[in-house]
Amino acid sequence: MSFPSYATLSLEPRGEHVLLVRLNRPDVLNAINTQMGRDQLDLWTRLSSEPGALRCVVVTGAGDRAFCAGGDLKERDGMTQAEWQAQHEIFERAFVALVECTVPVIAAVNGHAYGGGLEMALCCDFIYAVPGARFAQSEVRLGIMPGGMGTQNLPRAVGERRAKELIFSARPFSAAEALEWGLVNRVCEPPRLIEEALATAQAIADNAPLSVRQAKKSIHCGLQMDLATGYRFEIEAYNRLVDTADRREGVKAFNEKRKPKFEGS
């Protein structure tokens, strides 16, 4: 599929089914300004509504210092309350569009992820990081609080009590700690971070895309429900796959001992 040219994002197709997205404001540690909010909102919405052949996305930061330093405080300096809230409305919609994106999104955290940068990574399906990455939910130091799902996604990742400690103290933590607490899936040496994230993206892309999207939806929505209701939702998602060409191809390929050719139909 084709994309518009984004002022703050660099898009690099990697084969037919995988897309590498770079947050592209390295001079300010890829901080989120209003334009980046608009660009992300458009991208994640577009990927959900018109994925085309795309089956997985890796998002990382440009440069080697930061994934994303959070909101651009220089742009925010002197904003009125109305201007701040108008900007934040764009950010809110971008975060929701990312967390609800039907295509799997892997965060490849190549450096610091602070404030909204950590929240952005948490809105992705899972996270790989370099050993030197540092994380912080640092908003209370600025007289605000997490506003990009941080108070919701961080407790779900590391548990309520750990999240309270991290959010209330605003204390940075390491990639090793993030891995130990379950926030990060894998720590990769810098030269291999993108390579390993893309390899996992390709493994996802090799599977039936409708199956992956239905599974993602079931996990995301089911975690908001009790177990019995979540299971009923899972079965509804499952049943929508039974009468698909990909399901028939998958079973046929298994019996013919060959690799399936999934078309997303």
How much is the average pLDDT of 221-232? 96
Q: Does the pLDDT value for residue 220 go beyond 80?
A: yes
Cα separation, 151 vs 142, in Å, equals 16
Mean pLDDT, rounded, for 106-133: 98
Q: In 10 A of CB 206, how many CB atoms?
A: 15
Please give the angle made by the CA atoms of 145, 148 and 153, to the nearest 5 degrees: 95
Bridge partners of 128?
108, 186
Segment 3-25 mean pLDDT: 96
| Size of the chain, expressed as the number of residues it contains | 265
Per-residue confidence band for 203, with pLDDT thresholds at 50, 70 and 90: very high
Above 80 in pLDDT, residue 205?
yes
Span 33-55, average pLDDT: 97
**CATH of span 9-205:** 3.90.226.10
Maximum distance among all alpha carbons in the chain?
66
- With a cut of 80, say whether residue 1 has pLDDT above it: no
Please list the active-site residues: 119, 139
Per-residue pLDDT band for 26 (boundaries 50, 70, 90) equals very high
Mean pLDDT computed over 181-199: 98
pLDDT tens readout for residues 66-119? 999 999 999 999 999 999 999 999 999 999 999 999 999 999 999 999 999 999
pLDDT in the model for residue 71: 95
Inform me whether the pLDDT recorded for 3 exceeds 90.
no
- C-alpha span between 26 and 28 (Å, rounded): 5
Parse the chain into domains and list their residue ranges.
9-205, 209-255
The 10 Å CB-count burial string (b at 16+, else e) for 13-36 is: ebeebbbbbbbbbeeebbbbbbbb
pLDDT at 154: 98
Residue 100 three-state SS? coil
pLDDT band with cut points at 50, 70 and 90 for residue 42: very high
**Top CATH class, 209-255:** mainly alpha
The residue written with tokens 């908003």 in the block is 139
Q: What is the mean pLDDT of residues 184-193?
A: 98
CB atoms within 10 A of CB 78: 8
pTM: 0.95
Same fold, 9-205 and 209-255: no
d(CA 38, CA 166): 29
Residue 2: the pLDDT is 79
**Mean pLDDT over residues 222-245, rounded?**
97
What whole-number percentage of the chain has pLDDT above 70? 100
